[in-house]
Amino acid sequence: MNDETINLGQAPMPDSCVRGGQPATRSQAGMPADLSTWTGSMELVRLVLEAASLNANLLEKRDFRMNGAAFRPPTLLSLLAYAYLSGINGSRDIEAALGSNRGLRYLAANTAASGAVLRQFRRLNRAVLKKVLVNVLRTVWEDRFSKDDLSASTGFSYVTQSLDRWLEPLRHPSFEADAEDRIRQAIMADSMALDE
């Protein structure tokens, strides 16, 4: 059976998510490239906002200026974190998705950040961005695989929960490696876009 005949019900992914011609559906650590498939988009927004607020004091500048425009660093941090956790890696792809992606639109709060602004902000605040990604990845993993969630699950049978767990990776992933990989993918996507 070839890949074209299998429909997994996944939405098409942006070009920046493609590795070797295949969509990146899982990170190297086994987490989904689009973490909102585990959390839902608005829960992912909540988790990103919470993690960004915990790390906002580590940002390089209180305000971020580029080409005469001022941007709020916590907003840019949240935008990048949400995008990378949603499998949207390229800065141009993020800029394009601001109008159509509900989570990004909410986080943008009327901020019209260009791809160039997002790239520059990432360069200056990579360490803080990584901390936010690690925080959200760890929280989602622990929520999904906690011991108490079998009894608290709704809408799924015990058999479905058991099978889902059996198919998921059993060992604890490296959240730091996953976060770094997501940032590297974004840098690669931006580099490829600039070469066009």
Domain region containing 38:
31-188
- Segment 78-107, tens digit of pLDDT: 999 999 999 999 999 999 999 899 999 999
Query: Is 6 among the domain residues?
Result: no
Burial 143-174 (b: 16+ CB within 10 A, else e): eeeeeeeeeeeeeeeeeeeeeeeeeeeeeebe
- Segment 150-176, tens digit of pLDDT: 444 444 445 555 555 555 555 678 999
Query: Is 21 among the domain residues?
Result: no
Query: Is 2 among the domain residues?
Result: no
* Domains contained in the chain, number: 1
Does residue 134 carry a pLDDT above 50? yes
Range of 1-15, 52-66, 99-113, 161-175 with top mean pLDDT: 99-113
Query: Is 123 among the domain residues?
Result: yes
Looking at residue 161, its pLDDT comes to 54
Q: Higher-confidence residue: 70 or 188?
A: 188
Amino acid of residue 68? G
